[in-house]
């Protein structure tokens, strides 16, 4: 009973309090003041709407001072104003809210002071403040960090940057970043912690990052490049793991900046050294396991070698890819035995499905016709994938010398076993027009003009026209070559020329032409056959001339057979590969000239170190006069000059009769060794050192029994006008009156 009375009293009290609350609210509603109007004063550039967009107070709302305080902060946070105030005008029908702002000035100029390492243009490219923008302190501070970061990337870690504002009329200002660059911070020490197998000096030699040296101003030693440092960590790890330390770990470098020095500490956990254990293969075999395991080389290593394992993975992958299994997986399983300190490796092979070329798409060729590119490809649509033939296809496209770049992008086709092959080429100019002059040992001063096109009409045809006239020769040449006659790899060409040459003892005016054909017979090898006719008029013969000079008209009708192997990676300035040829020429099918001549030539290019190239060249020949015919002087062998044995006069090495009459040789040999190094790689400017040797002999007359030799240096520029050569040869063991050697210059092809 008592509890019931208590509940009734409480309910009554709640009802009374609720009625009181409603009366208070109703009374407050009658006294509430509304916002009649919201205005913005003081703004010149920034629109009212842009400012009021960030405020919560709206016309018609109940006036609330707390809400206006929040709006005041929101307007200031826009970053466009130096000062923001709010005023309220009270009237009977409502309050007018006025936001009074003071705009920040706009930036008219951005200047930098104190910067020497980075120029103004570099700094302006990186900061994100521009002329005409509003001066924002927060943005200025962010750009100070950007400038400091640029300097720190160049190892100026003590750089200090402050800003100065110079007020101007019309609410504008100039902004200046004052930079105190400080000294470049360099690496004082590189310390290794945990190395015992290799000393610190040996490990430092593996790194591109180095301590400051005496010639740091010249060599940039001691400069810190974070990307290079990370690569150095990978090199150190690889060095250990390629020398048996399978569990070696190289930690992240600890870099400490102190005053004007950098201190680097690299922690190494070498672990034990492991020898190679058992090697095995498992999975899908496309050839007998015994044959496949012969291609694995890691078993030949005494100690564990991570790099050889990777090479074996690539070798096995290529073997499968060359048989059509483009998606074959080769995963090495590595098991270490901590007691025996050996490593067992099992290569798990999953061949997956064979892949076929569904479609081959050519992109980027605006001039070269599709069929010119496709006929160089060793891969064909609907055939099995072959990595070897695909790599060869790319190499052959580069050898055309029509393209700056060739990219191969394989993509999945309409099914899992189908592949779309996109070949994207970047064409380069193949036509040249040159006009110029120069000097050579043979022609003295000369002028020349030529027009050539190596990809005529985009068909891969070669067209050449040239005119050259100099102190001792005048020649006009025309040549045309179709590399794929009847859409088969049968090359056909025609040549025509007219030449006037003044030799030391006679003059020769000649004209002629030739038809030639070529066909591939082996890999990188083509066979050629050529029929040529030459008509020469010999005149102005001196008394000291060779007896092998026949005055009047001499006609030569000849056929020649050649076999040429050429695996050079480029036709001009090659860095690897070789070119070999042998030619047999028979003259005497008509006319009064008749002989049989055999010449052979070999040249080897091989890359060395630091982008340098070695070149070894040899050449030799033999000629014999045909019965009842005549062998003229200009078909016999002479050496000397820029294209044979440098340092000697042109045609300066020859058998002689009567002690002073050169007669040319019926056999000769020539050797050249060159070391080429880049001077300006992008421009094709190279330097070289060379050694030459050679001689020519004949049954009649006298000549040195041994080889004449020379050595020297030079430069070559593979210019748009053709190869330019300037070389100085020194004769080794010169004869009396022969001189010590000579400078030689030429513009045109080289051996």
pLDDT digits (tens, 9 = 90+) for 563-605: 999 999 877 778 899 999 999 999 999 899 999 999 999 999 9
pLDDT at 690: 97
Q: Are residues 261 and 302 in the same domain?
A: no
3-state class (DSSP) for residue 308: helix
462 assigned to some structural domain: no
Which candidate, 266, 267, 263, 258, places its Cα nearest to that of 189?
Answer: 263
Taking residues 402-429, report their average pLDDT: 92
298 assigned to some structural domain: yes
- Check: CB of residue 39 under 8 Å from CB of residue 96: yes
> Which tokens belong to 473?
């020769």
- Residue 146 vs residues 135, 152, 154, 382: alpha-carbon distances, Å: 17, 10, 13, 55
- Burial group, residue 621, by CB count within 10 angstroms (0-12, 13-18, 19+): buried
Residue 13, pLDDT > 90, answer no
pLDDT at 405: 92
Which of 35-39, 236-240, 466-470, 537-541 reaches the highest mean pLDDT? Answer: 236-240
List, in order, residues 6 or more apart from 415 with CB less than 8 Å away.
Answer: none
3-state class (DSSP) for residue 130: coil
pLDDT interval class at 751 (50, 70, 90):
very low
- Residue 102 vs residues 16, 45, 106, 216, 427: alpha-carbon distances, Å: 53, 11, 12, 54, 60
How far the first Cα of the chain sits from its last, in Å, is 127
> Which tokens belong to 501?
């040459």
pLDDT interval class at 145 (50, 70, 90):
very high
Percent of the chain having pLDDT more than 70?
Answer: 92
Q: Are residues 191 and 259 in the same domain?
A: yes
CATH number of the structural domain spanning residue 263:
3.10.20.310
Q: Are residues 338 and 302 in the same domain?
A: yes
Residue 247, pLDDT > 80, answer yes
List, in order, residues 6 or more apart from 63 with CB less than 8 Å away.
Answer: 32, 33, 34, 35, 88, 94, 95, 97
Q: Are residues 145 and 112 in the same domain?
A: yes
Q: Are residues 131 and 160 in the same domain?
A: yes
At 232, phi and psi to the nearest 5? -65, -35
3-state class (DSSP) for residue 198: coil
Counts of helices then strands in the chain (DSSP H, E): 12, 34
pLDDT at 505: 84
Which of 73-77, 307-311, 444-448, 648-652 reaches the highest mean pLDDT? Answer: 307-311
Q: Are residues 139 and 168 in the same domain?
A: yes
Whole-number Å distance between alpha carbons of 662 and 94:
122
pLDDT interval class at 474 (50, 70, 90):
confident
Taking residues 190-217, report their average pLDDT: 88
Span of 402-411, 655-664, 687-696, 709-718 with lowest mean pLDDT? 655-664
Whole-number Å distance between alpha carbons of 88 and 98:
6
324 assigned to some structural domain: yes
Q: Are residues 216 and 291 in the same domain?
A: no
pLDDT interval class at 458 (50, 70, 90):
very high
Q: Which residue has the tokens 């003044």?
A: 502
Domain count, the chain: 6
Q: Are residues 245 and 303 in the same domain?
A: no
Span of 219-223, 282-286, 302-306, 540-544 with lowest mean pLDDT? 219-223
pLDDT interval class at 154 (50, 70, 90):
confident
pLDDT at 23: 43
Higher-pLDDT residue of 680 and 518 is 518
Residue 10, pLDDT > 60, answer no
Q: Which residue has the tokens 């100070």?
A: 144
Residue 368, pLDDT > 70, answer yes
Instruction: Pick the last residue of a domain from 160, 180, 200.
Output: 180
Residue 682, pLDDT > 80, answer no
Whole-number Å distance between alpha carbons of 76 and 171:
18
Taking residues 29-45, report their average pLDDT: 80
> Which tokens belong to 273?
């050294």
453 assigned to some structural domain: no
pLDDT at 24: 43
> Which tokens belong to 126?
């990186």
Whole-number Å distance between alpha carbons of 653 and 643:
13
Task: Give me the chain's average pLDDT, please.
Answer: 88
Q: Where are the alpha helices (DSSP H) in 190-241?
A: 200-206, 216-219, 226-241
SS3 per-residue string spanning 162-186: EEEEEEECCCEEEEEEEEECCCCCE
Taking residues 368-381, report their average pLDDT: 93
122 assigned to some structural domain: yes
pLDDT interval class at 222 (50, 70, 90):
confident
Residue 554, pLDDT > 80, answer yes
Which strand ranges, in their side-by-side order, compose the sheet holding 160-168? Answer: 106-113, 172-180, 160-168
Neighbours of 126 (CB within 10 A): 13
Q: Are residues 193 and 265 in the same domain?
A: yes
Instruction: Pick the last residue of a domain from 350, 373, 391.
Output: 350
Instruction: Pick the last residue of a domain from 427, 460, 480.
Output: 427
245 assigned to some structural domain: yes
pTM flag (> 0.85): no
- Look up residue 305 and give its DSSP letter: -
Q: Are residues 234 and 264 in the same domain?
A: yes
The tens digit of pLDDT for each residue in 615-624 reads: 999 999 999 9
Residue 18, pLDDT > 80, answer no
List, in order, residues 6 or more apart from 119 with CB less than 8 Å away.
Answer: none
Higher-pLDDT residue of 707 and 154 is 707
- Residue 708 vs residues 71, 669, 733: alpha-carbon distances, Å: 98, 10, 8
Q: Are residues 284 and 300 in the same domain?
A: yes
Q: DSSP letter string over 438-495? A: EEETTTEEEEEEEEEEEEETTTTEEEEEEEEEESSEEEEEEEEEEEEETTTTEEEEEE
- Residue 579 vs residues 576, 614, 617: alpha-carbon distances, Å: 10, 14, 9
pLDDT at 185: 87
Q: Are residues 369 and 421 in the same domain?
A: yes
81 assigned to some structural domain: yes
Whole-number Å distance between alpha carbons of 549 and 198:
74
pLDDT at 572: 72
pLDDT at 26: 43
Q: Residue 121: give the domain boundaries.
A: 107-180
The tens digit of pLDDT for each residue in 131-140 reads: 888 888 888 9
Q: What are the residues facing 657 on neighbouring strands?
A: 661
723 assigned to some structural domain: no
Which strand ranges, in their side-by-side order, compose the sheet holding 275-283? Answer: 275-283, 342-350, 329-337
């Amino acid at each position: 009973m008592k509890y019931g009375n208590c509940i009734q009293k409480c309910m009554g009290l709640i009802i009374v309090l609720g009625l009181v609350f409603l009366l208070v609210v109703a009374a407050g509603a009658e006294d509430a003041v509304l916002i009649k109007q919201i205005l913005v004063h003081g703004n010149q550039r920034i629109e009212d709407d842009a400012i009021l967009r960030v405020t919560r107070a709206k016309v018609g709302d109940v006036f609330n001072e707390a809400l206006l305080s929040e709006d005041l902060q929101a307007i200031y946070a826009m970053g466009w104003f130096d000062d923001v105030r709010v005023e309220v005008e009270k009237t009977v029908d409502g309050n007018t809210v006025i936001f009074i702002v003071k705009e920040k000035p706009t930036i008219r100029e951005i200047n930098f002071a104190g910067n020497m390492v980075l120029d103004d243009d570099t700094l302006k490219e990186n900061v994100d403040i521009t002329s005409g923008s509003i001066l924002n302190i927060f943005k200025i501070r962010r750009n100070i960090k950007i400038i400091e970061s640029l300097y720190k990337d160049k190892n100026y870690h003590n750089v200090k940057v402050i800003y100065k504002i110079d007020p101007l009329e019309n609410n504008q200002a100039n902004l200046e970043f004052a930079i105190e660059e400080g000294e470049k911070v360099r690496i004082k020490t590189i310390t290794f912690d945990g190395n015992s197998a290799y000393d610190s000096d040996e490990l430092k030699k593996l790194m591109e990052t180095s301590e400051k040296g005496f010639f740091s101003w010249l060599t940039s030693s001691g400069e810190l490049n974070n990307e290079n440092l990370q690569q150095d960590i990978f090199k150190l790890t690889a060095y250990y793991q390629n020398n048996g330390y399978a569990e070696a770990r190289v930690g992240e470098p600890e870099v400490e900046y102190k005053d004007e020095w950098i201190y680097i500490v690299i922690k190494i956990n070498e672990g034990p050294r492991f020898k190679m254990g058992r090697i095995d293969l498992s999975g899908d075999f496309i050839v007998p396991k015994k044959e496949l395991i012969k291609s694995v080389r890691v078993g030949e290593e005494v100690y564990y070698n991570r790099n050889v394992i990777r090479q074996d993975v690539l070798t096995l992958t290529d073997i499968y890819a060359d048989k059509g299994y483009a998606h074959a997986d080769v995963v090495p399983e590595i098991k270490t035995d901590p007691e025996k300190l050996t490593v067992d490796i099992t290569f798990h092979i999953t061949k997956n499905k064979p892949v076929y070329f569904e479609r081959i798409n050519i992109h980027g060729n605006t001039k070269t016709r599709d069929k010119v590119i496709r006929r160089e490809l060793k891969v064909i649509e609907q055939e099995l994938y072959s990595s070897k033939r695909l790599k060869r296809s790319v190499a052959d496209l580069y050898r055309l010398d029509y393209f700056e770049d060739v990219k191969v992008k394989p993509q999945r086709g309409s099914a899992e076993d189908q592949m779309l092959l996109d070949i994207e080429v970047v064409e380069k100019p193949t036509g040249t027009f040159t006009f110029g002059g120069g000097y050579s040992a043979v022609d003295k001063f000369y002028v020349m003009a030529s027009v050539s096109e190596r990809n005529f009409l985009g068909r891969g045809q070669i067209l050449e026209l040239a005119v050259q006239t100099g102190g001792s020769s005048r020649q006009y040449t025309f040549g045309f070559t179709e590399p794929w006659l009847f859409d088969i790899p049968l090359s056909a060409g025609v040549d025509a020329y007219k030449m006037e040459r003044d030799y030391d003892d006679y003059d020769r005016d000649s004209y002629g032409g030739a038809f030639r054909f070529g066909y591939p017979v082996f890999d990188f090898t083509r066979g050629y056959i050529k029929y040529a006719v030459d008509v020469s008029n010999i005149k102005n013969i001196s008394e000291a001339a060779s007896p092998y000079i026949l005055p009047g008209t001499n006609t030569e009708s000849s056929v020649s057979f050649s076999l040429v192997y050429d695996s050079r990676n480029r036709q001009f300035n090659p860095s690897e590969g070789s070119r070999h040829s042998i030619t047999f020429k028979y003259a005497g099918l008509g006319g009064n000239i008749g002989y049989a001549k055999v010449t052979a030539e070999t040249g080897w290019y091989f890359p060395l170190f630091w982008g340098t190239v070695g070149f070894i060249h040899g050449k030799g020949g033999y000629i014999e006069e045909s019965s009842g015919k005549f062998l003229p002087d200009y078909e016999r062998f002479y050496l000397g000059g820029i294209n044979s044995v440098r340092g000697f006069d042109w045609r300066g090495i020859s058998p002689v009769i009567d002690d002073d009459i050169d007669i040319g040789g019926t056999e000769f040999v020539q050797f050249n060794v060159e070391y080429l190094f880049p001077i300006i790689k992008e421009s094709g400017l190279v330097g070289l050192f060379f050694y030459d040797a050679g001689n020519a002999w004949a049954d009649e007359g006298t000549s040195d029994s041994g080889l004449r030799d020379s050595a020297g240096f030079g430069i070559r520029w593979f210019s748009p006008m053709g190869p330019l050569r300037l070389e100085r040869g020194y004769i080794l063991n010169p004869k009396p009156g022969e001189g010590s050697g000579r400078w030689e210059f030429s513009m045109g092809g080289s051996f």
